[in-house]
Amino acid sequence: MKATIWHNPACGTSRNTLAILQDAGHDVTVVEYLKMPPGAEKLAQIYRDAGITPQQGLRLRGTDAQERGLPQADDATVLAAMAAEPKLIERPLVETEKGVRLCRPKELVLEIL
C-alpha cells in the first residue's frame, strides 16, 4: 500500500509513525512539510478527508497560534496561516488509499492501513 506522511523528523511522534509505516512494508512518500509546505487547498483536502477542521489540525504548542486567535478564526484564515507558516501544522498527517489521519497518538495510523 502507498502512504504519504507529512513529516517533521525532529518530532518523536512523527518518527514513530513513519517507523510503523516502514515496518509494515508500505511504500512511503515522506514529505518534510517544513521544507515543502502544502498549499491551503491541499491542507483543506487533507483535513476534509481526515474528518477534522483546520482548527483541529492547528499546532498550538511551540507556536503563536493562540496569541493570533487562530483557534477561533475561520477556516480560510487558518489554512492561509498554515500555508504561510508550516510550523502551525500539527503532525504527522498520513494519507493512504483508506483515508487520512492526524496521527496523534501514533497508533491512529493503524486505522488507515
Closest of 27, 22, 23 to residue 1, by C-alpha = 27
Catalytic residues: 11
Q: Compute the half-sphere exposure of residue 64: CA atoms within 13 Å on the CB side of its CA.
A: 4
Query: Phi/psi at 77 (nearest 5 deg)?
Result: -65, -45
pTM for the whole thing?
0.93
Any idea of the CA torsion for 25, 100, 86, 63, to the nearest 10 degrees?
Answer: -110
- pLDDT per residue of the chain (113 residues) written in tens, 0 to 9: 999 999 999 999 999 999 999 999 999 999 999 999 999 999 999 999 999 999 999 999 999 999 999 999 999 999 999 999 999 999 999 999 999 999 999 999 999 99
What is the edge-to-edge ordering of all strands in the sheet holding 27-32?
27-32, 2-7, 93-96, 99-102
